Amino acid sequence: MRSYAATENNGGMQPQRGLERLVDLSDAVVAIAATLLVLPLVEIAGPDSGSSTWEVITSHRVDLFAFVLSFAVIFVLWTTHHRVFRDVTGYTTNLALANFFWLLSIVFLPFPTKLIAEKNGFDAGATATYVGTIAVSMMAIFALQVVIAHTPGITRLVPEHGLRTATIGLVLVLIAFGLAFTPVGLWSLTVLALTVPIDRFVDRRTAKAEE
């Protein structure tokens, strides 16, 4: 068993097994959050009310839209989280704390999803709560990248690139949060599609500057 002193000498890094448990817990929480999204739909398809299948679908189209949107959001956030941890070789207390902050945003997402469905997607408060939850998740991703960038030997990659990408994503989601209070509403989330193009543009500019 690794001693406390040995852990301290390694910059606070914890054993590999601890990292695996952290990642496994994260995946389990994501799976639970995704499952919670579908529960309102199960209630909709409950006892037969005499309506046809098409009538049930059309009368609850906002619920279906909210489910699909949030499922896609969770998938994107999980993929981003997976990329962060893909090349991480250990973890620290700060990394675990930032990760639990991220998990909090994920497990909370079904609540604003329900708000969106109940308000038909047009209520500014519901939209702001929804986009704000995504913003909190991106803040946590940014915090994870900051911890990685300031912990020597914790990743096999150049940590600055991940930190830059997280910064771009955070700035864009904060812009989306501001737009959520306007008539743009949920369409504000489309600005997040600019993350990859902007990141690649910065990559090219950086490469030219280093030539």
pLDDT of 7 > 60? The answer is no
Task: Name the least confident of 47-61, 109-123, 139-153.
Answer: 47-61
What's the pLDDT score for residue 120? 78
Looking at per-residue confidence, does 155 or 169 come out higher?
169
Rounded mean pLDDT, 122-143: 94
Per-residue pLDDT tens digits for 22-39:
999 999 999 999 999 998
State how far the Cα of 160 lies from the Cα of 118, in Å rounded to an integer: 42
What's the pLDDT score for residue 98? 96
147 to 61, 141, 191: CA distances (angstroms) = 42, 10, 26
Nearest to 109 by CA among 142, 67, 149: 67
pLDDT of 50 > 70? The answer is no
Nearest to 13 by CA among 166, 147, 140: 147
**Furthest-apart CA pair in the chain: how many Å?**
70
Per-residue pLDDT tens digits for 93-131:
999 999 999 999 999 999 999 999 888 767 899 999 999
What's the pLDDT score for residue 15? 58
For the chain, give percent helix, strand, coil, nearest 5: 80, 0, 20
Nearest to 131 by CA among 172, 79, 82: 172
Single pTM value for the model: 0.84
